[in-house]
Amino acid sequence: MNLTKQDVLNGIRPLSSSKDFGTADEFLSSSETELYNPVIGGKLSHERVVKLSDIISTWTVRLANSIKKNKNLPGCADFVKALNELPPETKLFSLSFKSRKKICTFWFRAETEQPVGFIVVEKNEQT
């Protein structure tokens, strides 16, 4: 797996039905946006494959918190919906990008690199 910014931009088209797709597309298209690949658990974030069961409750809680706090978390509702529709044995990886003000994480099925969803976060927002 060696996805570039342009690969992701081309590959996220199946997510265009998300009401927040324009936000992610605009973010990824910006010349200020760059790959953000921190080390998590001893691996670069894009190399870390997780099971659906490892992340579904975390993102469900983050979505609930963002709604309760009236904070906008573009893409999160559609991402959580997509997670709930995946088979339980699904494995995922993420690829993140950042700009001065935002971080956007795109999630993909590990087996197929098919996009599952995305979340755009303002750097100063917490959920």
Q: What is the pLDDT of residues 47-90, one digit of tens each?
A: 688 999 999 999 999 999 999 999 989 999 999 999 999 999 99
Per-residue confidence (pLDDT) for residue 127, from 0 to 100? 47
Close Cβ partners of 79 (under 8 Å, ≥ 6 residues apart): 59, 107, 116, 117, 118, 119
Rounded distance, CA 46 to CA 81, Å? 22
Q: In terms of Cα–Cα distance, which of 12, 6, 28, 13 is closest to 120?
A: 28
- Strands, E assignment, the chain: 34-36, 39-40, 43-44, 50-51, 91-98, 102-109, 115-122
Please indicate, yes or no, if residue 34 is contained in any of the structural domains.
yes
Q: Look up the domain containing 86 and give its range.
A: 5-122
Please name the helix (run of DSSP H) or strand (run of DSSP E) that holds residue 127, with its range, or none: none
What is the reported pTM?
0.86
Please indicate, yes or no, if residue 127 is contained in any of the structural domains.
no
Q: Tokens representing 104?
A: 């956007």
Please indicate, yes or no, if residue 48 is contained in any of the structural domains.
yes
How large is the C-alpha radius of gyration of the chain?
14
Please indicate, yes or no, if residue 63 is contained in any of the structural domains.
yes
Per-residue confidence (pLDDT) for residue 52, from 0 to 100? 94
Per-residue confidence (pLDDT) for residue 20, from 0 to 100? 93
